[in-house]
Amino acid sequence: MPQKVIPIRPQSRLPGTKAPRYDGGELADTRGRRMRDLRISVTDRCNFRCTYCMPREVFNAGYKFLPHEAILSFEEIARLAGIFVGLGVQKIRLTGGEPLLRKNIAELVAMLAPLGADLTLTTNGSTLVKHARALKDAGLDRITVSLDSLDEATFRAMNDADFPVVKVLDGIAAAADEGFTPVKINMVVKRGVNDHQIVEAARHWRHSGHILRFIEYMDVGSTNGWRMEEVIPSAEVIRRISAAFPLEQVEANYAGEVAERWRYKDGAGEIGVISSVTQAFCNDCSRMRISTEGSLYTCLFAQQGHDLKSLLRAGATDDDIRDRIAAVWRARGDRYSEIRNAATAKLPKVEMSYIGG
Ligand code: SAM
C-alpha cells in the first residue's frame, strides 16, 4: 500500500532533540520497511499472571508498577497517535498489560477513532462483558481476545489468577453481540502445557465465525524462562488440526500481515498461525510500539526505547515529535526474530506488559 505522507512545514528544532528535520519524503527504515502499525500499551498492569508473560514470582506484591504520573495521559496518547497517522500509520492497537483495566478506556477510544486508522484492542476478555458496548459506541473497530485453553484446569493454571474460562467466553459473546465480528481469539501454545488443547480449540471455534489464532510461545522479556523446546512450531499446529479437520492456506490480506491464514476445506471458517519463532517476519515488519510511559520501541524484543514523553512534557511541537519519530524509524535496522538463538534469548529485554503485546 502506498505510504500516506503529510507534508511538513519547516519549523525550528526543539533544543536537545537532535533529530534531523523530517522532509516529508518517503519514510522507510534501513531495510526498506514502511511504518504502518502502531501498538500502544495503555497500562503495565494486568489482573492475570500468565506464566509466560507476567509470572507471579516476578510480578508480585513487591513489583513496582508505574505510578500514574509516569504513564501517558489520554491527551498525550491521542496527540502521539495523530502524529503517527500523519506519518502513515494505518492501524492502531491498544494493548498492555490489560487495556480494559485502564480507567475510562472508552474515552481514549473515542479520542482516537476520529483519526481514521483501523482501531483495535487486545484484551484478556475478563471484563469485556462490562466494556463491549462502550467500546463499540466509542468507535473501536475490532477486538482480539486471548484465550489459551477451553479446559478449565489448564486455563486457570496458565492465567495463574484462577480465572474461569466461561467469563472469557461470555466476553467474546458480548463483543460479538455488539458487532465486533469476527472476534480474533489468540491462543499462545506452550508444549506440555496447553498443546493438548489445540484440536479442541479448533473444534470449538469452527463454525463460530470467529478467527482462532495460534501464537508460538516467544522469548519476550526476561522473566518467563523461555526455552526453545517449549515452542510448538506453527507447522505442527497446522498438521495436528489438519489431521482432524483438513486445512488449506489462504493468501494474506496485505503484505506484512503477522498471521498466516488457513481455512477449513469444509467451509467451517478460518484460523491463523503467528510464527514469530520458526518463521520470523522481520522482513516486512511495519510495527512501532509506544510503551506505557511513552517510550518508542521498534521491536518487541528491543532492549532500549526512545523517550517521547520528555518531548511531550517539555513543550515540543508536533513537528519536533514527528521529526524524532521519523528519525527513529529511518535508523531502524533490527530483525531480532531472524537472528534469535539461545544466546539472544537470554538478553535482557523489555517486558511485554510494559511495551505492549
Ligand atoms: N492483556 C491483553 C491480553 O491478554 O490479550 C493484552 C496484552 S498481552 C501481552 C497480548 C498478547 O500477547 C496476548 O495474546 C498474550 O497471550 C500474548 N503473549 C504474551 N506473552 C507471550 C509470549 N511469551 N509468547 C507469545 N505470546 C505472548
DSSP 48-68: ---TTTS-TTTSSTT--PPPG
Residue whose CA lies nearest to ligand 1 atom number 21:
53
Strand-strand pairing, 211-216 and 247-250: unpaired
Ligand 1, atom 9: closest residue by C-alpha: 357
DSSP characters for 88-143? Answer: T--EEEEESS-GGGSTTHHHHHHHHGGG-SEEEEEE-STTHHHHHHHHHHHT--EE
Gap from CA of 218 to ligand 1 centroid (Å): 10
C-beta neighbour count of 122 within 10 angstroms: 21
pLDDT of residue 104: 98
Question: What's residue 13's pLDDT?
Answer: 44
- State residue 25's pLDDT score: 80
pLDDT of residue 7: 33
The per-residue pLDDT string of the chain (357 residues; one tens digit each, 9 = 90 and over) reads 333 333 333 333 444 556 888 888 879 999 999 999 999 999 999 999 999 999 999 999 999 999 999 999 999 999 999 999 999 999 999 999 999 999 999 999 999 999 999 999 999 999 999 999 999 999 999 999 999 999 999 999 999 999 999 999 999 999 999 999 999 999 999 999 999 999 999 999 999 999 999 999 998 888 888 999 999 999 999 999 999 999 999 999 887 788 999 999 999 999 999 999 999 889 999 999 999 999 999 998 888 899 999 999 999 999 999 999 999 999 999 998 888 877 787 888 888 888 877
Site residues for ligand 1, CB cut-off 6 Å: 46, 52-53, 95-96, 98, 122-124, 146, 186, 188, 215, 217-218, 220, 224, 352-353, 357
Interstrand relation of 270-274 and 295-297 (parallel, antiparallel or unpaired): unpaired
Measured in degrees and rounded to the nearest 5, phi and psi for residue 227 equal -135, 140
Q: Which of 65, 146, 155 to mutate to test the pocket of ligand 1 (most atoms within 8 A of CB)?
A: 146
By alpha-carbon position, which residue is closest to atom 20 of ligand 1? Answer: 53
Residue nearest to atom 14 of ligand 1 (CA): 146
Could you tell me the distance, in angstroms and rounded to a whole number, from the CA of residue 53 to the centre of ligand 1? 7
Give me the torsion for CA of 253, 259, 264, 268, rounded to 10°. -80
Distance CA 93, CA 143 (A): 9
Which of the listed residues 131, 188, 237 should we mutate to test ligand 1's pocket, taking the one with most ligand atoms within 8 A of CB? Answer: 188
Instruction: Please tell me the distance between residue 92's alpha carbon and the centre of ligand 1 in angstroms.
Output: 17
